[in-house]
A and B are shown apart, each in its own frame.
Chain A
């Protein structure tokens, strides 16, 4: 029997995450393979972001 792969989740931050957001992200990340993208930093690499969105099973956009 093959082992089920963990869900891949991507967190996109539109601003610097608050402590509350970090707590929620940690909860959401349980048993999942998590990545993040910080839209608010410098000049974002949109090509990389699109690739990450299509690689992920689920994308969560934070304010």
Chain B
């Protein structure tokens, strides 16, 4: 699959940039771009942020995922505690990061 030049991949590792994440995702959608987001490492704590639902509502189910292993490492249960706004199929592995790199013409780390 070739990367879509109008799709922005956002790889999130930090738990500190929820405002930037929401702001950039909103701006991309306003600009007519597609957004694909993967949260991993400490950033999985953002799933407990009050604004996480805004991000979930911005992205299609296939375009937002969190790393289930990171979620477990940070003390959450990836089966019994699915973040609000997500479905179980959005609890993914690092292979999803590979998909972000493959599908997105543009890429940003937060």
Which residues, 20 to 42 on A, are CB-close (under 8 Å) to B? Answer: 39
- Bound CA span A50–B17, Å: 16
Give the A-B pair count, Cβ closer than 8 A.
Answer: 41
- Bound CA span A12–B21, Å: 13
Q: Which of chain A's residues have a CB closer than 8 A to the CB of B24?
A: 46, 49-50
Q: Are A50 and B27 in contact (CB under 8 A)?
A: yes
Q: Which of chain A's residues have a CB closer than 8 A to the CB of B110?
A: 14, 61
Q: Main SS of the interface on chain B?
A: mixed
Q: Are A50 and B33 in contact (CB under 8 A)?
A: yes
A47 on the interface (CB 8 Å rule)? yes
Q: Which of chain A's residues have a CB closer than 8 A to the CB of B41?
A: none
Q: Are B23 and A53 in contact (CB under 8 A)?
A: no
Q: Are A46 and B108 in contact (CB under 8 A)?
A: no
B31 on the interface (CB 8 Å rule)? yes
- Bound CA span A26–B83, Å: 41
Which residue of the partner chain B has the closest CB to A50? B27
Q: Are B20 and A53 in contact (CB under 8 A)?
A: no
Q: How far is the CB of A35 from chain B (nearest CB, A)?
A: 14
| Known contacts A50-B33, A61-B109; A14/B26 CB under 8 A | no
A51 on the interface (CB 8 Å rule)? yes
| Known contacts A12-B108, A14-B110; A50/B8 CB under 8 A | yes
Residues of chain B having any CB pair with chain A under 8 Å: 6, 8, 14, 17, 20, 23-24, 26-28, 30-31, 33, 106-110
Residues of chain A having any CB pair with chain B under 8 Å: 12, 14, 39, 44, 46-47, 49-51, 53-54, 56, 59, 61
In the A-B complex, list the 4 residue pairs whose CB atoms are closest, starting with the nearest.
Answer: A46-B27, A61-B109, A46-B23, A50-B27
